Amino acid sequence: MQLKVVIDRFEGDKAVLLIGDEEVQALWPRRLLPSGVREGDILTMALAVDGDATRTAREEAENLLRRLLG
């Protein structure tokens, strides 16, 4: 899924992002944005499920629960 993100403004070390057509506001650490971005810049953000990482995390949680209950 690709989202359009507009940098609305900066507030200290945070950026206020407007996400998608609905312009949902979100705070984002400024240091995690591409260097040189400015207010009004438009970015694209890609979201995807990392199946391998999800499986690994679930397995680790299940193993920990088994150890705690076992």
The predicted structure's pLDDT at residue 70 = 86
The predicted structure's pLDDT at residue 14 = 98
Structural domain for 63, as ranges:
2-69
The predicted structure's pLDDT at residue 15 = 98
**Rounded to two decimals, what is the model's pTM?**
0.77
The predicted structure's pLDDT at residue 10 = 98
> Which DSSP string corresponds to 37-60?
--TT-EEEEE----HHHHHHHHHH
Lateral strand order in the sheet of 42-46: 24-29, 14-19, 2-11, 42-46
At 28, which CATH number? 2.30.30
pLDDT along the chain (70 residues), means of 10: 97 97 97 97 97 98 95
Beta bridge partners of 61: none
Number of domains comprising the chain: 1
The predicted structure's pLDDT at residue 37 = 97
